[in-house]
Amino acid sequence: METFIAILLTIVSASTPLLIAAMGELVVERSGVLNLGIEGMMIIGAACGFAGAVMSGSVFIGFLIGIIGGAILSYFFAILVLNFATNQVATGLALTLAGLGISGLIGKPFAGITIQREPIEFLSFVNDIPVVGPMLNGIDAIAYFGFALLLAVAWFLNRTRAGLILRAVGDNPVSAHTLGYNVLRVRLYAILFGGACAGLAGAYLSLYYTPFWAREMTAGRGWIALALVVFASWLPYRLLIGAYLFGAVTILQFHAQGAQINIPQQFMASLPYLATIIVLIAISAKQTGRAIHTPASLGRIFVPDR
């Protein structure tokens, strides 16, 4: 039972950055903007967050700096795609490359340093509950925040006026502009939110999941987060299923290697990415349900009064 609980907790830890980063990208894409720079914003969040935690001595401050770092990088993306109407795909790819380079510069002085995790202490009365008690006490604060963020985003998109405006901008920015809504401002806020989420996800990797700094430590998780948004058909609650599915694949391949299963290590390490490709192929083969929730103007440039 202890081994089972330990595996579940590691799956939660592996899934948390995917869930948070994908949640931010879902909001961005709901506004009609396609940001392929999640990987770059995550690695910037990891570098800035770790540097901030080491220099300040506070993991909490490290998380805040990681969030700010991801949001700042996303702001430059917003300037280019909103003000200068650059191609969103090319700008997002450039953002990833820039993030990888800048993060290496920021994180270089902190290579080889480790920090102490700060686990959450849950309500004491759950300690005596079998299985549930150890699970709740073992889950970290950012994972709980991820659950709360999921509920908040779902409520925002479906139950608030601002959420409906965001979805309207993503479906038809021309009509939203005609009705008097500031399309560029709505998209700017969505992009900043997505950058902040990616920064938090990256900071989680360096401050809790590892916890140390290494170059390119995101290891393609930003691309998996992008795939999760499509997997979830732009619906928040499906992101939880997708994130934990991919998190489980990532963790189980490590346990399979530890159990000395006679499968090449390279193949086991590629399983999360193979699963991503298989899921995308399966979704592409069935367009009907996916098309219902796809933002109609996703990736299209909008210039007011033109």
In a domain, 306, yes or no: no
**CATH code at position 288:** 1.10.3470
Query: How many domains are there within the chain?
Result: 1
Q: The whole model's pTM is what?
A: 0.90
Percent helix, strand and coil across the chain, each to the nearest 5: 75, 0, 25
pLDDT single digits (tens) 29-88:
999 999 999 999 999 999 999 999 999 999 999 999 999 999 999 999 999 999 999 999
**Residue 141: inside a domain, yes or no?**
yes
Which of 113, 124, 76 minimizes the C-alpha distance to 98?
A: 76
Neighbours of 132 (CB within 10 A): 12
Q: Residue 208: inside a domain, yes or no? A: yes
Examine residue 187 and state whether it is found in any structural domain, yes or no: yes
Phi/psi of residue 151, nearest 5 degrees: -65, -40
Tokens of 298: 């996703």
Residue 86, phi-psi category: left (phi > 0), alpha (psi -120 to 50), beta (remainder): beta
Is 301 inside a domain boundary?
Answer: no
Residue 231 in domain: yes
273: CB partners within 8 A, 6+ apart: 220, 224
Cα–Cα distance for residue pair 34/54, rounded to 1 Å: 34
pLDDT of residue 290: 52
Distance, CA of 269 to CA of 249 (rounded, Å): 10
**Distance between CA atoms of residues 299 and 92, nearest Å:** 11
The residues that bridge with 29 in the sheet, in sequence order, are: none
160 domain residue, yes or no? yes
Q: Which residue range(s) make up the domain with 39?
A: 2-118+126-293
Q: Residue 284 has what pLDDT?
A: 65
Q: 3-class DSSP state for residue 144?
A: helix
In a domain, 300, yes or no: no
Task: Classify burial at 47, counting beta carbons within 10 Å of its beta carbon; exposed 0-12, middle 13-18, buried 19 or more.
Answer: buried
Q: How far is CA 114 from the centre of its chain?
A: 23
Q: What are the pLDDT digits (tens) for 76-119?
A: 999 999 999 999 999 999 999 999 999 999 999 998 888 877 65
Whether residue 247 contacts residue 11, with contact meaning beta carbons closer than 8 Å, is answered with yes
Structural contact between residues 31 and 190, judged by C-beta atoms closer than 8 angstroms: yes
Average pLDDT value for residue range 264-275: 71
> What pLDDT was estimated at residue 247?
85
Report residue 3's pLDDT band, with 50, 70 and 90 as the boundaries.
confident
| Residue 13, phi-psi category: left (phi > 0), alpha (psi -120 to 50), beta (remainder) | alpha
